[in-house]
Structure 1
Amino acid sequence: MLHIIDDEDVIRDSLSWLARSRQIAAIGYSSAEQFLASLDQPLRFDTEGDCILLDVRMEGLSGIHLFDILSGKKLTKRLPVIFLTGHGDVPMAVDTLKRGAFDFFEKPFNDNKLMDRVQEALAQSRAAGVSAAVHERLATLSAREKEVLELILLGKMNKVIADELGISMRTVEVHRAHVFDKMQVKTAVELAGILK
């Protein structure tokens, strides 16, 4: 989902149309405060990724201030920010990029270049979301399940795992089933794939 935060209706509408032309879902916000209010709801990330197009200068809370809030909440990896401005300067662009902004575009901008960067930001967001989900799943494993997981990743068979851990083969099978279930995979190859 592309989140467009700009206090000009015409900009939000044109960017939404541009996003739809690339089959990117978009939603507009007329202010940073309106976007922040939407974050008060339980945060649900789009499986296709999320990205923010953020105007630097707006009435009320500025885009820079909103970026600082998002950075403080450690959301900018999952919600990459692309700044848009008609009043940008080189030091401002360099500063925001150093602090983790995904990109910085001056108005007027090249539509295709902007949408290419949006698609790259969405891909980064998807990857960050997958990584976060995998870490959440790993956190649900017991200490013994983590030991079994490590040995599965080394390609060891159940009998070898049982011998190394000093437990029965049946217990290994149960732990292996729990690991696969909690990690939402069906094979050791899938497991290795999500953990690389």
Structure 2
Amino acid sequence: MNVYIVDDDAPLRAAISSLLRSVGLRVFDFGSVPQFLAHQREEAASCLLLDVRLQGISGLEFQAELNRDGVSLPVVFMTGHGDIPMSVRAMKAGALDFLAKPFRDQDLIDAVNSALEVDRGRRQHNQAQHALQACYQSLTPREREIMALAASGLMNKQIAGQVGTSEITVKIHRGNAMRKMQARTFADLVRMAEALGIDTARKG
């Protein structure tokens, strides 16, 4: 798990880096936003410790840029000039925490661990979603149609009448869909259809 620090206070960066490395985290520290952007980030659970007041672009402005660019990186703000309106603005924009300097070591560690857990959960969800999409892409058009109709609550006989085929053929397609989707139960198949955004409104 990686922690990225962006703060123009070199002694503070060094102290935070040492603290976080002491609890087993990988730390990369930068004195400015351009230095951070020039770094090739790894595909691992990560978070960003970001100073609010930086030379050039401010931390809040950079957070807004990350949001606009669709970068999903949990942000924990650090500031020696914190006030309530600033912290509210940061949290509304998606920051996970707002630490006023000087902060306790444990408060920093707790905030970082929470941010890393959020990113790890997001990555696991994305991986599961990609795997689900890959399974769905392996279905034939008819299997996808049968899956959607079955997930909407129609019985095999109703599906057969709606698509103009035999009930036994529907059973075969439905079985194939469950096998390819790796659904252990029909309830699993319904949940998968919902996760994929398939319209499961009753069609019959």
**What's the TM-score bracket when you normalise by the shorter of the two chains?**
0.7 to 0.9
Q: Are the equivalent residues in 2 in contact too, given 1:83–1:103 (CA < 8 A)?
A: yes
- Structure 1 residues without counterparts, runs of 5 or longer: 155-160, 181-185
Q: Are the equivalent residues in 1 in contact too, given 2:52–2:58 (CA < 8 A)?
A: yes
Q: Determine the structure 2 residue equivalent to 1:67.
A: 63
- 2 CA distance for matches of 1:53 and 1:173? 49
Cα gap change, 1:148/1:86 in structure 2, threshold over 3 Å: closer, same or farther? same
- Structure 2 residues without counterparts, runs of 5 or longer: 161-168, 196-204
Counterpart check, 1:19 vs 2:13: no
Q: Are the equivalent residues in 1 in contact too, given 2:3–2:27 (CA < 8 A)?
A: yes
- 1 CA distance for matches of 2:33 and 2:24? 25
- 2 CA distance for matches of 1:44 and 1:176? 35
Q: Determine the structure 1 residue equivalent to 2:199.
A: none
Q: Determine the structure 1 residue equivalent to 2:124.
A: 130
SS at match of 2:114: helix
Q: Determine the structure 2 residue equivalent to 1:158.
A: none
Q: Determine the structure 2 residue equivalent to 1:53.
A: 49
Q: Determine the structure 2 residue equivalent to 1:179.
A: 181
Cα gap change, 1:92/1:162 in structure 2, threshold over 3 Å: closer, same or farther? same
Q: Determine the structure 2 residue equivalent to 1:101.
A: 95
- 1 CA distance for matches of 2:21 and 2:145? 44
Question: How far apart are 1:163 and its partner, in Å?
Answer: 7.1
Q: Determine the structure 1 residue equivalent to 2:80.
A: 86
Equivalent residues, number: 177
Q: Which has the larger radius of gyration?
A: 2
Question: How far apart are 1:100 and its partner, in Å?
Answer: 1.2
Q: Determine the structure 1 residue equivalent to 2:201.
A: none
Give the TM-score taking structure 2 as reference length: 0.70
1:43-96 deviation digits (Å, cap 9, x = unpaired): 6431xx211100111222221121111111233xx3110100112222111111
Q: How does 1:158-169 map to 2 (within 5 A)?
A: 167=169
Percentage identity across paired residues of the two chains: 30
Give the TM-score taking structure 1 as reference length: 0.72
Question: How far apart are 1:164 and its partner, in Å?
Answer: 7.6
Larger mean Cα displacement after TM superposition, 115-124 or 10-19: 10-19
Q: Determine the structure 1 residue equivalent to 2:33.
A: 32
Q: How does 1:145-164 map to 2 (within 5 A)?
A: 148=147
Larger mean Cα displacement after TM superposition, 9-18 or 105-114: 9-18
- 2 CA distance for matches of 1:146 and 1:51? 41
SS at match of 1:79: coil
Question: How far apart are 1:178 and its partner, in Å?
Answer: 2.9
- What RMSD over aligned residues (CA atoms) do the two structures have, in Å? 3.2
Question: How far apart are 1:101 and its partner, in Å?
Answer: 0.9
SS at match of 1:15: helix
- 2 CA distance for matches of 1:165 and 1:126? 40
- 1 CA distance for matches of 2:52 and 2:145? 46
Q: Are the equivalent residues in 2 in contact too, given 1:149–1:179 (CA < 8 A)?
A: no
